[in-house]
Structures are given as C-alpha cells and as structure tokens.
Amino acid sequence: MRAIQYAAPSTVEDAVAILAEHGSDARMLAGGTDLIVQVREDARDTGVFVDAKKIPELMDLSVNADGSTTLGAAVPCHELYNNAQFAASYPAVVDAARIIGSTGIQGRASVGGNLCNSGPAGDTIPPLIVHSAVCNIAGPDGKRTVAVEDFCTAPGRNVLADGELLVSLTLPKPPAGSGSHYLRFIPRNEMDIAVVGAGASLVLDGESITAARISLGAVAPTPLFVQAAGDALIGLTADEDSFAVAADIARDAASPIDDMRGTIAHRKQLSYVLTQRALRGARAHAQGGSPTNGH
C-alpha cells in the first residue's frame, strides 16, 4: 500500500516550495476531476497532492484596470457561467465551461486544471486560445508568462517545469464588435469527450472582419491554434463563402489520429464543419445574437 501526502498551502510561495521539494512526485490539485481519476486508475503516480483551493490568487476572478480579466487557475467552471460580465465578454470559454462533465463536475472542475491536464481534447483550451489568453506561471525562479497556444507540448505534457505552477490566466478585454463561440462534436449528447472541438473569435466592423482567431481540439498532439485560418478572414465579409475559406485551412491544418474516439477521415471532415459552425456562432454573438449550439 502506498501512503500519499496532502498539502494545502495558502500562498503561491509555499506551493512553489512544496512542488520544488517533491519534483515530479507532486501535483497541483484543483477540482481533482482529472487527477483523482487518473491516480485511482493507475494512469498517474502521484505521491503529493498540493491543494490549489486555499491560495487566494488561484481562486481569483476579477476585472483589471486595463479591462482584462484575471481567471485564477482553480476557479471552477460554474463560477464562469454564473458571472454575467465574464459570460458576456468570453462566450467561447463559457460555452466550454457549460459542456464539461455534468453540473456536479462543473462545480469542481476548473479551466486552469483543464489546461494543465493538457489533453488534446481539453474543451476550454481552444476558447482560451481564440481569446488570446496568457498563462501566469510562478516557480522557484520567479514569474513568467506563456501564451496559451504555446503552453501544451504533447498529450498530457506542458511547459511547466518541476516546482512551477499555473497561478492564473489573463484574458484581454475583447474589442468592440467581437464575438466568440466554441463547440465540439460528440457521438452522444452528453458524457463524452470531444472527437473534435472548434473555437472561433471574430471582430467585426459592420459586416467586415477585422480580426479572427480559430483553434481546434483533438486533431493534433496539442490543441491547435490555426493562425492562418483566422488571418485569411481579415478584410473579408463575415459570410458563408469566407467561413468556407477558413474551414478549408482548418481542415488542412488538422493532423488527427485514428483512435477509439474517432477516425482520421471523420476528424478532418469535422474540422471543416465545426470551424464553419464556430464562426457562425461567433458572428451571431458579435452581432448581438446568441449562437445556436448545433452539434
């Protein structure tokens, strides 16, 4: 029988010290909806659980002076969709927060945890990417920032070194005329992991697109920022023809595998279809409507 240790530091500094002492044997515990399951299933060997929820910075959700938002790494999903201001500013993130697990899971599961789990299909990661979110990381050598699209390095792996933790995410203030949407394809209507996920953000000046970002989940070893697809939209009218151009680029950028959740051919097709649908949703939001969340 293996004994485990549980630590509940109240400062980032203490958390860093504990993580540094135990190296890869230690792991931050936010909602635990991934970590505890993985340890129980022998998929991860963790000896020291460092609870994130007693550290104020990790539970913080607030708007900064420059209009950006700080999202603490352990803030659970339900706080996001119950926060009207956050929901209005970052609709794609809220789309993801609403479809991760059940209501009960959403009471514990956090966006930061989802990012640190670094699964290719993590639902909140494409939305963070399309909102240009930045990771605020603390470690033995001090603080650093990393763009979310550069955070994940391989399935289950990321840029965090031993002793480092994700403190929070900074989401820039969305410009006027912007909208975003995230959706995923799952074979059932609930309790499933994305076969493909797609997030899109648009900034519109009338009918014209002035900025766009597109990101795909579950089609590569890490969530994919398809910069070329967004760039191709700049200056175009926000219509079906334009969206088809971006969707073509997204399909070409996807490099999925065959596994128990989907096939290469199906994931390529879904990359195209979901990119179109995410863009339609983002446009609807930018124009003040609410996107239809068709699977």
Residue 33, classed as helix, strand or coil, is coil
Binder among 190, 206, 241, 288 for another protein (CB under 8 A): 190
> Quick check: 124 and 116 in contact, CB under 8 A?
no
What residues between 191 and 250 interact with another protein by CB under 8 A? Answer: 191-193, 195
What residues between 31 and 90 interact with another protein by CB under 8 A? Answer: 41
What residues between 264 and 283 interact with another protein by CB under 8 A? Answer: 265-266, 269-270, 273
Sign for the pseudo-dihedral over CA of 24, 132, 85, 78 = negative
Q: With CB under 8 A as the contact rule, which of the stretches 130-138, 150-158, 189-197, 282-290 interacts with another protein?
A: 189-197
Q: Is 3 in the site for another protein (CB under 8 A)?
A: no
* 84 or 191: CB nearest another protein: 191
Q: Is 28 in the site for another protein (CB under 8 A)?
A: no
* 160 or 274: CB nearest another protein: 274
Please list the alpha-helical segments (H only) found in the chain.
12-22, 35-40, 77-81, 84-89, 91-99, 103-106, 111-117, 125-130, 227-231, 240-253, 264-286
Q: With CB under 8 A as the contact rule, which of the stretches 80-88, 110-118, 188-196, 205-213 interacts with another protein?
A: 188-196
DSSP 146-208: EEGGGTEEETTEESPPTT-EEEEEEEPPPPTTEEEEEEEE-SSSSS---SEEEEEEEEEETTE
Binder among 86, 182, 185, 225 for another protein (CB under 8 A): 185
Going by the DSSP 8-state scheme, the letter that residue 223 receives in this structure is: -
Question: Which amino acid makes up residue 189?
Answer: N
* 192 or 231: CB nearest another protein: 192
Number of residues engaging another protein in binding (CB under 8 A): 23
Binder among 213, 251, 261, 283 for another protein (CB under 8 A): 261
Q: Tally Cβ neighbours within 10 Å of residue 157.
A: 11
Q: Is 157 in the site for another protein (CB under 8 A)?
A: no
CA distance 111 to 73: 7
- The angle subtended at Cα 36 by Cα 32 and Cα 40, nearest 5°, is 170
Binder among 6, 65, 260, 288 for another protein (CB under 8 A): 260
Q: How far is the CB of 262 from another protein (least distance, A)?
A: 6
Q: Is 143 in the site for another protein (CB under 8 A)?
A: no
Binding site for another protein (CB under 8 A): 1-2, 41, 185, 187-193, 195, 259-263, 265-266, 269-270, 273, 295
